[in-house]
Amino acid sequence: MSERFSPKVIPLVDARPRPLAVPDTWLEPGSRMTANGLVSDTLGRNLRDLRISVTDRCNFRCNYCMPKEVFDKNYPYLPHASLLSFEEITRIAQQFINHGVQKIRLTGGEPLLRKNIEVLIEKLAALRTLEGQPLDLTLTTNGALLARMAKSLKAAGLQRVTVSLDGLDDAVFRRMNDVDFPVADVLAGIHAARDAGLGPIKINMVVKRGTNDQEILPMLRHFKGSGMVLRFIEYMDVGATNGWRMHDVVPSAEVIQRIRAEMPLLALEPANPGETAQRWGFADAAGTYDRQAGEIGVISSVTQAFCSDCNRARLSTEGRLYLCLFANQGYDLRSLLRREASDADLASAIGHIWSGRADRYSELRGAMAADTGSGARRVEMSYIGG
Ligand code: SAM
Ligand code: SF4
Ligand code: SF4
C-alpha cells in the first residue's frame, strides 16, 4: 500500500466530526411539523427505511471498513454513556414510524456485540407502522455470533438477517476479516439462522479486486438454489480510513459478465421501490427464470448511483441522524432526548431534517472527488452502519 493511502496518516479526530444542532425554531409550536404520515425531502423522496447503529465496536477488522492500523486498542470508541439506551432508540424509532418508516435495520459495528440486543429487538418488534402492521425488522451481521444467538433473536421478534460473507475459501476469509476468524463458523451461523426461521436470508459479499474477486463464482455455486439471496456489493469509498481506490472496485457489470460466462442470468424487476440491489434470476435451459435456482443481486453504489429513490435515514450509535451514507455530519437527536424534548418536538425535528434533505452523493461522486480530493472527513461505516 502506498503512503498516500496508508490508514495511519488519517488523524483520528476526523472519525467523528461535530454534530449539527437542531434549531429551536424547528420545535416551536408555529413551525412544528407534526408526524402524521409521509414526509418528502427536497427531491421528493419519502422516508421509509431507518438503519440504526447499536455499537461502533466490532470483533472483525475487515480492511475495507475497520483497518487494524486505525481501529486498534487506542481507538477512541464511544463510552457507554454516549450510546443511546434501548428506551431512547425505541422512542426515536416511534417518531420515525409516525413519519412513514416501515423498515428498521439494526447494524453497527457488529450489532450482535451490543449487550442484551434481544431486549431492544423485543421493544422494536412491538411497534406498529401507520397502517397498523408490524415493522419489517432486520439486522446485518458478520455472522460470528449467529450460531449462538439465532434462536433468541428470532424469539425476540427479529424477522430476518443479512449476513456479510466475503468468500468461502478459509484463507481468503481469514485475511479479509483480519482476525483469523474461520469461515466454517460463519457458515454454521447462517445455517442456524435458517433453522431458526430468520429468512429470507441475504448474503452480502463486498468484492475487492485482487483480494476476493476469485470467490465470486464459488460463492455463486454455493448459494444457488439455497433459498438465500447472494448480493455482490461494489467496494465503496465510505469513511476516511480504508484507502479506497477506484482500481480496487469490481464494477457490477463486470461481476454479471463473469457469471454469465458460466451460467445464464435474466434481469428481474425490482421487488420494492428504493431497493438498493439490481436483481438477476438464474435461467433454465429454455431461457426462463428458474425459481428453484433463485436469484442474486448486485449493489452498484459506485458505478450506478441509485440516489433518486433513496429513502434511507441512518441513526448513529450516539443518536445522530445522518441523511446519507457519505455524509460528514449528523443531526444531534440525543441532546433533544436528554433535555427532555416531547415526542412532538422529536417528530418535528425529524420532519424538518428530512424535508430539507438534498443528499445524493453517489450521483455527484465524480464532481465531488474533483472538488475535495479524498473526502477525508466522511464518517466511518462502522460508526454509521451499512
Ligand atoms: N458488522 C456487520 C456486518 O459486517 O455485516 C454490520 C455492519 S457493516 C458496516 C454493514 C455492511 O457494510 C457489511 O455488509 C459490510 O460488508 C459493508 N461494508 C463495510 N465497508 C464497506 C465498503 N467500504 N464498501 C462496501 N461495503 C462495505
Ligand atoms: Fe466489522 Fe462489519 Fe465492518 Fe467487517 S464490515 S469490520 S464485520 S463492522
Ligand atoms: Fe442514498 Fe447517499 Fe447512497 Fe445516494 S449516496 S443512495 S443519497 S445513501
Q: Which residues' Cβ are closer than 6 Å to ligand 1?
A: 58, 64-65, 107-108, 110, 140-142, 164, 204, 206, 233, 235-236, 238, 242, 381-382, 385-386
Per-residue pLDDT, 367: 63
Q: Comparing C-alpha atoms, which of 54, 50, 137, 136 is closest to residue 88?
A: 54
Per the DSSP assignment, residues forming a β-bridge with 296 are: 230, 280
Is the preceding omega at residue 79 within 30 degrees of 0, hence cis?
no
Q: Is residue 57 included in any domain, yes or no?
A: yes
Q: What is the DSSP string of 206-249?
A: EEBTTTTGGGHHHHHHHHTTSS-EEEEEE----SSSS---GGGB
Per-residue pLDDT, 4: 36
What's the total number of domains in the chain? 1
Closest residue by Cα to atom 7, ligand 3, is 360
Is residue 296 helix, strand or coil?
A: strand
Copy the grid coordinates of residue 77.
470508541
- CA of 130 from ligand 3 middle (Å) equals 25
Closest residue by Cα to atom 4, ligand 3, is 307
Q: Is residue 9 included in any domain, yes or no?
A: no
Query: pLDDT digit of tens for each residue in the chain (386 aa)?
Result: 333 334 443 444 445 678 999 999 999 888 888 887 789 999 999 999 999 999 999 999 999 999 999 999 999 999 999 999 999 999 999 999 999 999 999 999 999 999 999 999 999 999 999 999 999 999 999 999 999 999 999 999 999 999 999 999 999 999 999 999 999 999 999 999 999 999 999 999 999 999 999 999 999 999 999 999 999 999 998 877 778 899 999 999 999 999 999 999 999 998 887 788 999 999 998 999 999 999 999 999 899 888 999 999 999 999 999 999 989 899 999 999 999 899 999 999 999 999 999 999 888 876 665 444 444 457 788 887 77
- CA of 204 from ligand 1 middle (Å) equals 8
Domain assignment of residue 164, given as a range: 15-384
Closest residue by Cα to atom 8, ligand 1, is 386
Per-residue pLDDT, 318: 96
Q: Is the CB of 19 under 6 A from ligand 2?
A: no
Whether 177 contacts 64, CB under 8 Å: no
Per-residue pLDDT, 277: 93
Name the residue of 56, 60, 179, 314 to mutate for ligand 2: max ligand atoms within 8 A of Cβ: 60
Q: Is residue 2 included in any domain, yes or no?
A: no
For the CA of 301, the closest atom of ligand 1 is 25
Q: Is residue 10 included in any domain, yes or no?
A: no
* Rounded Cα–Cα distance for residues 335 and 257 (Å): 49
Is the preceding omega at residue 19 within 30 degrees of 0, hence cis?
no
- CA of 343 from ligand 1 middle (Å) equals 32
CATH code where residue 65 lies: 3.20.20.70
Per-residue pLDDT, 382: 80
Q: Is residue 6 included in any domain, yes or no?
A: no
Q: Is residue 24 included in any domain, yes or no?
A: yes
Q: Which residues contact 19 (CB under 8 A, 6 or more apart)?
A: 320, 329, 330, 331, 332, 335
Taking the model in full, what pTM does it have? 0.93
Q: Comparing C-alpha atoms, which of 70, 92, 13 is closest to residue 314?
A: 92
Q: Is residue 3 included in any domain, yes or no?
A: no
For the CA of 381, the closest atom of ligand 2 is 3
Q: Grid coordinates 455470533 are at which residue?
A: 145
Is residue 328 helix, strand or coil?
A: coil
H or E segment at 34?
none
